[in-house]
Structure 1
Amino acid sequence: MGAGHYHLENINSDATGKYEIWRNNLLKKASLASTLTIHASAYRSVISTAIQKGWISEHTPIAQMKRTGAKGRARPAFTREEVNRLLDYLPIFAKGEHSRLAKESRQVCRDYVEILLGTGMRSGIESQHIKWSDISLHIDSVTAVKYLRIGVTGKAGGRYLIAKHNIKTVLERVIAKYSQLNAYSLDRVLELKPNLYLFSLGDDMLPVSFCTTFKHLMTASGLLKGSATGQNRTLYSLRHTFAILELMENRTDLHTLAKQMGTSVGMIERHYSKLTAVMAADRLA
């Protein structure tokens, strides 16, 4: 760390101040209150462990870290109308570009966007590294309805999430592009559980990131700026949109939504408290 190394008992307000300057320079912005709270909690845990181990006394004066910072802004989501516009435009976007690699990147980005919208999973490592062996087909014992289950590893460890029924069409489209799989039906591929990446370029090569291609998609579709916030939409906007639509259109309960998204009920309530209040009002009325 730019501020140097300290024994706990020697940490004072000057040392924490230097750390805050170093952190802001690293992040290239002033930290939000949520970030400061996480850092302060981790710092407090270190101090508590040191006290439990007897390395320092509970009466040792140690400077605390600030928890007050800028309030986070609402992240841009898509409205239902904008989701429909995006889904209509994706086939057009996927046909663009002249080079093989650029065209494949657009095609895979289309699959990626539709699956994020249909599951609520996080963009990045949680979703990019999914393999066909992580996807399984199940039948509800009561309704006999078939549904797709996808295993992912996220911030809170491994979990299973349920995909919307239209994701079946996406998977069938991916199979048709995959030379090792296109002779089989979706059901057969899921039975075989091949150790191949779902989102791949060419011979099972993982894209480094979808961020650049997604930004091109947003610009080309005219959906880059969030209508409510004025901020540029990112891949996270798809997850944010999934949560909003589940709450407002499907009336999904908070516990189920939190389990699907790999987060806590408290986090859902914190970010979507206005929506949950509307839901409660609808039910109560």
Structure 2
Amino acid sequence: MATRVDVEELKPGLIIFRRSEVKKRRNWYCRIKLPGEDRYKSVSLRTPDITAARERAFDQDVDVRFRIKHNVPIFDRPFSDIAEDYIKLQDARATVGEITKHRAVVVASIIRAQLNRYVGSTQISLVTEERWKGYPMWRRADAIERAKVQAEKTAEAEKLAAEAKERGEPPPRQIRTVGKDGKTIPKPRTATGKVSDATIRYEMTIFRSVMSYAASKKFIPDDKAFRGKLPLAKVRREEFTPEEYKTLYTEARTWVKATTTQRDDSVWLRNMARNFMLIMCNTGMRPTEAKNLRWRDVDSQKDDQGRTVVVLSVRGKNKARNLVAASNVANYLERVRDAAKAKGPDDHVFTNYDGSPTTSLYAGLIENLLTKTKLLMSSSGSRRSTYCFRHTYATFRLTEGVDVYFLAKQMGTSVKMIEDHYGHITPVKNAARILQGFEEWKALPTSAQTEA
């Protein structure tokens, strides 16, 4: 461990010293206390002469004070170093429950796999907002290049495998499809050369967060942290239309029985996936909330008119809330409970065939169902996932005229989020109010309303 020796105080807050671990070149160092802070800056003075060291130490002290006065960064480290400190902070936040461990892992992955390749070696003070805004172009070009490289490697591997087959030899180890244990080796994901706007936006928010962290630690001035809007428009949340939803739940009945495998759990899992889809579309739960849901969190009550209301106590995003659902959800949950092998109060609602909690929420089966019904891709060309069930719920509720405030409470989000992401629905919902007063828009006769 390094220790300071030959310490000499030149003035309060400024010392010079040597390092005990350095034996050959006995150079001097100085340590400067930042005014008004419990922080220090250490600098190598690059001389073994004490007189020269004293002079250089005073010069360094003047430089630090100049930087503070003119809002110039005192410390300068590469982006990758600051980003690693930010990753450690996220790990610490995950440990105490401020964020999920999954989010901390994702943040670290994006920084190390993408951001560091873009600006990792650049000094943090030289990373400008222009570099940040130029990230989408670099990211897309990089994806195209990586897809090209992967395609070339795949072609070469296939060629080598074909040559080995002609010689009667096993394929090279890097392209074998079966391991020594006899298990199939999963193929690496094929690089498509495309990156979605949503992915780039998310990566840019992490980029901006690292820069804000650097500003908070005085590595850059506050005005160097990125304050501008993200250059890409927000991705519209993809819901199912009423016609698509009808197709989905109708075709799902046939899909459950159409499995081609002979496994005992095949039909069981498809039934679970179908009920999961129906519950999600009728409650607006987040996938993480569904993953955490246990049977003790499910309750059935009566409203003031004697109707059955399902009350679910859900947890996700480090928050807990109660949401309500109609009696049809009670039926779906009863089907799940009847089929489940684990149905105690502390058991998870959504499980695998053996009763263990599902970690995938039947994602593969849901994708298969969406593919079979030709609903995997939305009308805008984006790929749908289980999160689309939540968007479908929000869209249907708004279309039916549910107040935005009550919907935000039900879904565990803010009114602003509802308005930002589902604002395209409200003009249609409020058409009668918006068009009131126009000659062509008059109230329908009572008899016509009854017939409608």
Q: Report the TM-score, using the length of structure 1 for normalisation.
A: 0.77
Cα distance in structure 2, aligned partners of 1:37 and 1:138: 45
Partner of 1:13: 127
Cα deviation, residue 34, structure 1:
5.1
* Structure 2 residue 302 is the aligned partner of structure 1 residue 139: yes
Q: How many residues align?
A: 263
Structure 2: gaps of 5 or more residues: 1-77, 86-122, 144-193, 437-452
Cα distance in structure 2, aligned partners of 1:147 and 1:273: 28
> AA paired with 1:270?
D
SS of match in other structure, 1:234: coil
Partner of 1:29: 195
**What is the CA deviation profile of residues 21-66 of structure 1, one whole-angstrom value per residue up to 9, with x for unaligned ones?**
8x9479x73755853774476457536754xxxx6796x7635376
Greater radius of gyration (CA): 2
* Structure 2 residue 326 is the aligned partner of structure 1 residue 164: yes
Partner of 1:217: 369
Conservation of the 8 A alpha-carbon contact between 1:117 and 1:241 = yes
Conservation of the 8 A alpha-carbon contact between 2:208 and 2:225 = no
Cα distance in structure 1, aligned partners of 2:351 and 2:404: 33
Cα distance in structure 2, aligned partners of 1:270 and 1:231: 19
Cα deviation, residue 230, structure 1:
3.2
Residues 253 and 178 of structure 1: CA distance in aligned 2, closer, same or farther (over 3 Å): same
SS of match in other structure, 1:148: strand
Cα distance in structure 2, aligned partners of 1:207 and 1:252: 32
Conservation of the 8 A alpha-carbon contact between 1:135 and 1:149 = yes
Residues 93 and 220 of structure 1: CA distance in aligned 2, closer, same or farther (over 3 Å): same
Which of 190, 193, 213 does residue 46 from structure 1 map onto? 213
* Structure 2 residue 366 is the aligned partner of structure 1 residue 204: no
Cα distance in structure 2, aligned partners of 1:49 and 1:277: 42
Cα distance in structure 1, aligned partners of 2:128 and 2:235: 30
SS of match in other structure, 2:306: coil
Cα deviation, residue 20, structure 1:
4.9
Cα distance in structure 2, aligned partners of 1:147 and 1:247: 20
> AA paired with 1:202?
Y
103-112 vs 2-11, which moves further: 2-11
Which of 288, 291, 295 does residue 128 from structure 1 map onto? 291
* Structure 2 residue 277 is the aligned partner of structure 1 residue 106: no
**What is the CA deviation profile of residues 246-271 of structure 1, one whole-angstrom value per residue up to 9, with x for unaligned ones?**
0112x111111111111110011011
Backbone CA RMSD of aligned residues? 3.5
Which of 372, 377, 389 does residue 238 from structure 1 map onto? 389
Residues 268 and 20 of structure 1: CA distance in aligned 2, closer, same or farther (over 3 Å): same
Cα deviation, residue 273, structure 1:
1.2
* Structure 2 residue 185 is the aligned partner of structure 1 residue 71: no
* Structure 2 residue 96 is the aligned partner of structure 1 residue 96: no
Conservation of the 8 A alpha-carbon contact between 2:125 and 2:220 = no
Conservation of the 8 A alpha-carbon contact between 1:132 and 1:194 = yes
Cα distance in structure 2, aligned partners of 1:6 and 1:180: 46
Instruction: Describe how 1:241-256 pairs up with structure 2 within 5 A.
Output: 241-249=392-400, 251-256=401-406
Conservation of the 8 A alpha-carbon contact between 1:150 and 1:162 = yes
Query: Higher relative contact order by CA 8 Å / sep ≥ 6: 1 or 2?
Result: 1
Cα distance in structure 2, aligned partners of 1:85 and 1:231: 19
229-238 vs 144-153, which moves further: 229-238
Cα deviation, residue 71, structure 1:
1.7
Residues 44 and 139 of structure 1: CA distance in aligned 2, closer, same or farther (over 3 Å): farther
Cα distance in structure 2, aligned partners of 1:171 and 1:205: 17
Residues 156 and 37 of structure 1: CA distance in aligned 2, closer, same or farther (over 3 Å): farther
Cα distance in structure 1, aligned partners of 2:372 and 2:363: 14
**What is the CA deviation profile of residues 120-169 of structure 1, one whole-angstrom value per residue up to 9, with x for unaligned ones?**
1112x2212311111111222x3232211111112261111112321111
SS of match in other structure, 1:230: coil
Conservation of the 8 A alpha-carbon contact between 2:211 and 2:225 = no
* Structure 2 residue 283 is the aligned partner of structure 1 residue 119: yes
Structure 1: gaps of 5 or more residues: 182-192
The share of aligned pairs that are identical, in percent, is 26
Residues 278 and 216 of structure 1: CA distance in aligned 2, closer, same or farther (over 3 Å): same
